[in-house]
Amino acid sequence: MDTIWRKKMRKLSVFVALLLIASIMLLVTACGPKEPTPTETTPGPAPTEGTTPEPKPAEPVEIPKLRIAYVPSMDVELILETTEPLKQLLIDELANHNFDVKEVEITVGTSFEAVGEALSAGSADVGFSSALVYITYDDEVDLLLTAARYDFKESSMDPMVWNKGLAERDNTKQVTGYPGLIYAGPSEYGKMLAAKVEAGEELTWEDMDGAVWAVANTSSNAGYLYPSLWLRDRFGKMISDLSNVLPGTAYPQMFAQAANETVDVFVCYADGRSGYEDQWLGELGRDKPIEEEVKVIGVTDWITNDVVIGSLVSDTMMTEGFRQAFCDSLVAISQTEAGFEAIQIFSHVGYLPGVDSEYDAMRAAQEILRDLE
C-alpha cells in the first residue's frame, strides 16, 4: 500500500513540473518581441551621431563685372545695339556654372590695336577680335575660342573644284576659317590663264607677271596677305614683285574692273562671286553668268576666322574655373535663337575651341606686313 502511494506521488510531481515548464514558456512567448508579419514594415535603424550629412552646394563665386571689348569692325552703335542681349544671356548662363556675375559691360575699342592693349593691360577681360590682333598680342592674351562659319559644300585646294559653279554654304557643318581665291576675269589675258588651269597646265611666274592685278589694302587677308603667300610658295615672289598692280582696291571695284576688262586677275574671299551674281548681269553689263566668266586659278592657305581672346592678367579671367565656364557659356548661348541673332552680325554661327597652330599661316602673313612697313 505504501509503495503504491509513493508511485502516485512521483507521477504527480512529474505532472506538476511539466505544467510549470509549460507556463514559463507561455509567459516568455507573450512578453518577447513580436515577429513581423508579411504586411508589416520593419523600421530601419535610427541615425547615429556618426552618420555623414549630405554635402551642401558650394556658394556661387561672385564676379563684380565682366568687361568685354569688341574690335571696331563695323559701325560702333550697331555693334552695341546688336550685342546688348548678350549681357543678360551671359549672366544667366554663367550662373549655371556657379558664377554670380553682377554686371556685363560691352565696349567697342577705338581701334583693333586698342582692344589688344586693353586685354594685355587687364582693363578688359574678354575680346572679340580679328586673328591678326591675337597673333600680335599672343604673348599677352589667351586664345579662348575661334568663331565658326558654315563650311562650303565643296572646298578644295584644287581650283577646278571651285570652277564647278558658285560656292554654296553647308549649314550642317561649322569651320574655323576659309580659303581666299585668285580669280581670272573675262579679259583675253584672263581667259588665257583660266584655260591653262582648266587644261591642267602649271602657271608660271611669267604668266602671273604678265597680268594686270587688282589687290586690296596690304592689311587685307583675302585681298593681299594670303595671295602674297600663295605667290611666295609657288614662285618665290610677292605681290610687290608684280609689274602691273592696282593697289588698295575695294572688292566691289575689283568686280567692276573685271567686268570692264581693265584687270586680268584679282583676289577675294571664297564666295566672292556669289555676292555679285546679280550685279554681274545687271549694272556691270555682262551677258553671261559670273561663274562662266570669272574663273578660279589659285586657292590660298586657310584664312582663320575671328577669335575670342582673354586677358592673362585680369582678376576675372584668373578666377579658378572662370575661363572654361565662359567658353562653355558662350558656346551654349550661340546655340540659342537669341544668342545666334546677337553673333550673326559678325557672320559667326557658333564658336569652337581655339587651336593656336591654325594661326601659323597668319603669322607668316604678318611677317609680310612687317616687311612692307
List domains and CATH numbers for the chain: 61-151+305-372 (3.40.190.10), 177-304 (3.40.190.10)
pLDDT higher than threshold 80 for residue 22: no
251 near 223, Cβ under 8 Å? Answer: yes
- 274-283 pLDDT, tens digit per residue, is 989 999 999 9
| Residue 2 CB coordination number (10 Å) | 5
Q: How far apart are CA 353 and CA 366, in angstroms?
A: 23
316 near 322, Cβ under 8 Å? Answer: yes
182 near 297, Cβ under 8 Å? Answer: yes
pLDDT higher than threshold 60 for residue 12: no
For the chain, what is the largest distance between any 2 Cα atoms, rounded to a whole number of angstroms? 157
pLDDT higher than threshold 90 for residue 123: yes
pLDDT higher than threshold 70 for residue 11: no
pLDDT higher than threshold 50 for residue 51: yes
Average pLDDT score over residue span 248-257: 93
Helices (runs of H) and strands (runs of E) counted in the chain: 16, 14
Q: Average per-residue pLDDT in the chain?
A: 87
Residue 83 is predicted with a pLDDT of 96
C-alpha cell at 338: 537669341
Q: Which residue has the cell 562671286?
A: 273
Residue 371 is predicted with a pLDDT of 77
Q: Which residue has the cell 556669289?
A: 274
Who wins on pLDDT, 24 or 326?
326
| Residue 252 CB coordination number (10 Å) | 12
Average pLDDT score over residue span 244-252: 93
Nearest by Cα to 254 from 168, 179, 184: 184
- The SS3 of residue 287 is coil
Average pLDDT score over residue span 92-118: 95
pLDDT higher than threshold 50 for residue 349: yes
pLDDT higher than threshold 90 for residue 243: yes
Q: Which residue has the cell 581655339?
A: 354
What lies within 8 Å, CB to CB, of 118 at 6+ separation is: 69, 109, 124, 127
Average pLDDT score over residue span 128-148: 93
Average pLDDT score over residue span 69-77: 89
- The SS3 of residue 50 is coil
| Residue 30 CB coordination number (10 Å) | 8
